[in-house]
Amino acid sequence: MRQLNAFIKKEFTEQLRSRRLYILGAVFLFFGIMSPAAAKLMPKIIELVAEQDQSFKIEAVKEVSALDSFDQFFKNVSTSLIVFVIMQAGIFTREYSSGTLLLSLTRGMERRKVIAAKAFTLTAVWTACYLVCFGTTYAYTAYFWDMSVVNDLWTAVLLWWIYGLWYIAMIVFFSTFLNSATAVIVCTGAIFLAGDLLAMIPKAERFIPTYLSGSSGLLRARDFDYTPALVITLVSIVLLLSASVPMFNKKQL
Amino acid sequence: MPVLEIKDLVKSFGDKQVLKGLSLTVPEKSIFGFIGQNGTGKTTTMKTVLGLLRADSGEITVAGEKVVYGNTPTNRHIGYLPDVPEFYPFMTAGEYLAFCGEISGMDRGEIRSRSEELLEAVGLAGEKHRIKGYSRGMRQRLGIAQALLGRPRLLICDEPTSALDPVGRKEILDILVRVREETTVLFSTHILSDVERICTDVAFLREGVISLGGSLSEIRRSYRSDIYILEPEGSEAAAALKAAFPMLTDTGSGSFTFRDTELSPFEVMSFAAERKLPLIKLERSEPTLEDLFMEVVGQ
Ligand SMILES: Nc1ncnc2c1ncn2[C@@H]1O[C@H](COP(=O)(O)OP(=O)(O)OP(=O)(O)O)[C@@H](O)[C@H]1O
Ligand SMILES: [Mg+2]
């Protein structure tokens, strides 16, 4: 337990002192503000454009609601997730190339605890950033608009958070056998693309983790059966993390 | 019982055999110089001892316990300084030692007192900057401190002096000499003068095996083909000596050298005495490790 605690503490010190945490926090905060702001300003922008350009004809400027703000949020949070993955993909590989991990391991640091500490840190950072982003959007939205039109916001938010965990599991898994952050990013991206491609098969779509990224459908009480994708995502997170341990044990450093 | 014993270690990378049956014994409380040119397999040997590489065959014991590949329990006896030591750049030296102590399960109070003591010993006490800004010498010194943290029986240093200037090298060598009182030191190098300065035992690694090894004084004794320097006075005496002993090597500065395997110094002395040839000096020079090494390599 002391080993794990010491390693987690070291990971957090690194997140803080490398400024990674601040940068991510700023990015997530920015998008948290941008979502309601964009929703608020959109009609004004459209009006402006329409005034200047007569050919730009608007059928009817629709009334902006809390739904638009949250739509923006779920769009923006995927951009934030990409930033998160890019910034955190090197969490293992940095230690391979510098040899810092090797020294810890010769001291008897257990490899599975290295995985546990890093997975925990990533989860904590993702959760904190996600909360900052959503919290900001939520506060502004609740202030500006009537929230009663929003259906099942919390499930949608939770599903998207789990969707983020799936990427963390992939970073961990790919890091146990790849040696560069770029390779980890490329493989994670490849899985995302593969998911997107598979989702073009109508029958398969519901079963693919990427389906969860459309959780905002819940806000409009649309027919959105997320259970199969959720189960598969959770199972694959567990599988990825548990496969990481033997993979990492085999890795020569 | 020797601290470290390696028997018939074989290790290949692909189809390239780097270690071809290396055997080595490091006696307790020695400073052991592990000498070899670049790419001969010093780092490979050390990493195998630490269980970081899997040996193809052979046996390694540390303090009588067998080394296994992976997380080997024998590492609790060992402090390790890798060839290019990299520590978490965002930590200070004190924080890093505390981290090392925590993961190796040391007692909290012991971590604190031992860290202070070691930072003092390696001249990093009161260093509040992060490791990021450290010079190479500072990193090596911190490396030795972290390796010694758990009071290991064996300190393994991979080329601790190679990247340093003469002052930095001397600092490291001095530290190694000082720690000898409490631990055995095995260090690799290709700088022979470093070995001569501090080692009690040496092993030359060459083509995958130890081509020469043992206590330095014994090696010196058994490889005693000492070199003599003969300096006659005047060119006449020089010419007479050279004529009588063609094996003399002219150094060009009015003196000759010869090996006692080729020519006995007594013969030279009696020859000079008979002819009353004036000599300025006839001197034995200790063979340097380099001479020994050249002799071994030349065989
Ligand atoms: N992981 C590896 N894969 C393939 N070959 C390797 C590997 N590690 C070492 N080698 C080869 O093994 C040989 C010995 O390498 P090693 O690093 O042990 O030498 P060394 O004596 O430490 O050299 P140096 O003085 O340069 O540090 C080298 O020829 C190297 O090319
Ligand atoms: Mg080396």
| Mean pLDDT on A158-175 | 97
Q: Is the pLDDT of residue A248 over 90?
A: yes
Residue of A200 and A123 predicted with greater confidence: A123
Q: How confident is the model at residue B297 (pLDDT cuts 50, 70, 90)?
A: low
What is d(CA A67, CA A150) in angstroms, rounded to the nearest whole number? 6
Report the first-to-last Cα separation within chain B, whole angstroms: 33
DSSP B211-261: EEEEEHHHHHHHT---EEEEEESSHHHHHHHHHH-TTPEE-SSS-EEEETT
The count of domains in chain A is 1
Q: Is the pLDDT of residue B139 over 80?
A: yes
Identify the pLDDT of residue A61: 57
Q: How confident is the model at residue B296 (pLDDT cuts 50, 70, 90)?
A: low
Question: Distance from the CA of B293 to the center of ligand 1, in angstroms?
Answer: 21
Q: How confident is the model at residue A62 (pLDDT cuts 50, 70, 90)?
A: low
Q: Provide the whole-model pTM.
A: 0.84
Question: Distance from the CA of B14 to the center of ligand 1, in angstroms?
Answer: 12
Q: Is the pLDDT of residue A172 over 80?
A: yes
User: Are B88 and A110 a contacting pair at CB < 8 A?
Assistant: no
Q: Is the pLDDT of residue B293 over 90?
A: no
User: Are A108 and B86 a contacting pair at CB < 8 A?
Assistant: no
Q: Show which residues on chain B lie within 8 Å of chain A, measured between beta carbons.
A: 50-53, 70-71, 75-76, 78, 80, 82, 84-88, 90-91, 95, 99-100, 102-105, 130, 146, 150
- How many CB atoms within 10 Å of residue A135? 13
Identify the pLDDT of residue A60: 52
| Mean pLDDT on B136-142 | 91
User: Are A6 and B52 a contacting pair at CB < 8 A?
Assistant: no
Of B24-33, B92-101, B145-154, B221-230, the range with the lowest mean pLDDT is B221-230
Strand partners, B186: B32, B156
Q: Is the pLDDT of residue B54 over 60?
A: yes
Q: Is the pLDDT of residue A69 over 60?
A: yes
Percent of residues, chain A, with pLDDT higher than 70 = 96
Nearest to A179 by CA among A106, A112, A252, A82: A252
User: Are A17 and B70 a contacting pair at CB < 8 A?
Assistant: no
Amino acid at B50: L
Give the torsion sign (CA, B266, B269, B274, B275): positive
**Which residues, judged by CB distance below 6 Å to any ligand atom, belong to the binding site of ligand 1?**
B 13, 18, 36, 38-44, 83, 159, 190
Identify the pLDDT of residue B299: 46
| Contact between residue A72 and residue A35 where contact means Cβ atoms under 8 Å apart | yes
H/E element holding A128?
Answer: helix A111-144
What is d(CA B48, CA B186) in angstroms, rounded to the nearest whole number? 14
Q: Render the burial of B41-71: b for 16+ CB within 10 Å, e for the rest.
A: bbbbbbbbbbbbbebeebebbbbeeebeeee
- Residue B84 backbone zone (phi > 0: left; psi -120 to 50: alpha; other: beta): beta
What are the residues whose beta carbons fall under 8 Å from the beta carbon of B123, sequence distance 6 or more? B141, B171
Helix extents (H) in B104-213 = 108-121, 136-148, 166-179, 192-198
| Mean pLDDT on B259-266 | 85
> Mean pLDDT score of chain A, rounded to an integer?
91
Q: How confident is the model at residue A143 (pLDDT cuts 50, 70, 90)?
A: very high
B182 to chain A, closest Cα gap in Å: 19
User: Are A13 and B91 a contacting pair at CB < 8 A?
Assistant: yes
Q: For strand B184-189 and strand B154-158, is the pairing parallel, antiparallel, or unpaired? A: parallel
| Mean pLDDT on B181-200 | 90
Which residues on chain A are in Cβ contact (under 8 Å) with B70? 249
| Mean pLDDT on B230-257 | 88
Strand partners, B9: B22
Identify the pLDDT of residue A46: 76
* Helix, strand or coil, per DSSP, at residue B32: strand
Of A135-144, B8-17, B38-47, B186-195, the range with the lowest mean pLDDT is B186-195
The chain A residue lying nearest B71, using CA atoms, is A108
Amino acid at B102: E
Q: Is the pLDDT of residue B13 over 70?
A: yes
Residue of A65 and A49 predicted with greater confidence: A65
Q: How confident is the model at residue A140 (pLDDT cuts 50, 70, 90)?
A: very high
The chain A residue lying nearest B77, using CA atoms, is A107
Helix axes B93-103, B108-121, angle to 10 degrees: 140
Nearest atom, ligand 1, residue B162 CA: 25
Identify the pLDDT of residue B213: 85
Helix axes A227-250, A153-175, angle to 10 degrees: 20
State which of B22, B40, B210 you would mutate to test the pocket of ligand 1, scoring each by most atoms of that ligand within 8 A of its C-beta: B40
In this structure, the residue with its CA closest to atom 14 of ligand 1 is B41
- How many CB atoms within 10 Å of residue A252? 8
Q: Is the pLDDT of residue B203 over 50?
A: yes
What is d(CA B105, CA B125) in angstroms, rounded to the nearest whole number? 23
Q: CA of B205: how far to CAs of A108, B58, B202, B258, in Å?
A: 29, 16, 10, 28
| Mean pLDDT on B115-132 | 92
Q: What is the pLDDT of residues A23-50, one digit of tens each?
A: 999 999 999 999 999 888 887 877 777 7
Q: Is the pLDDT of residue B142 over 90?
A: yes
Please report which ligand is nearest the Cα atom of B39: 1
Identify the pLDDT of residue A215: 85
B123 to chain A, closest Cα gap in Å: 22
Range of the domain at A77: 2-250
The chain A residue lying nearest B107, using CA atoms, is A2
Of B53, B71, B86, the CB nearest to A110: B71
Q: What is the pLDDT of residues A104-121, one digit of tens each?
A: 999 989 999 999 999 999
| Mean pLDDT on A219-242 | 90
Q: Is the pLDDT of residue B88 over 80?
A: yes
Identify the pLDDT of residue A4: 96
Identify the pLDDT of residue B126: 86
Percent of residues, chain A, with pLDDT higher than 90 = 70
* Helix, strand or coil, per DSSP, at residue A109: coil
Of B52, B88, B95, the CB nearest to A106: B52
Q: How confident is the model at residue B196 (pLDDT cuts 50, 70, 90)?
A: confident
What are the residues whose beta carbons fall under 8 Å from the beta carbon of B102, sequence distance 6 or more? A2, A3, A5, A6, B111
| Contact between residue A168 and residue A122 where contact means Cβ atoms under 8 Å apart | yes
| Mean pLDDT on B126-140 | 91
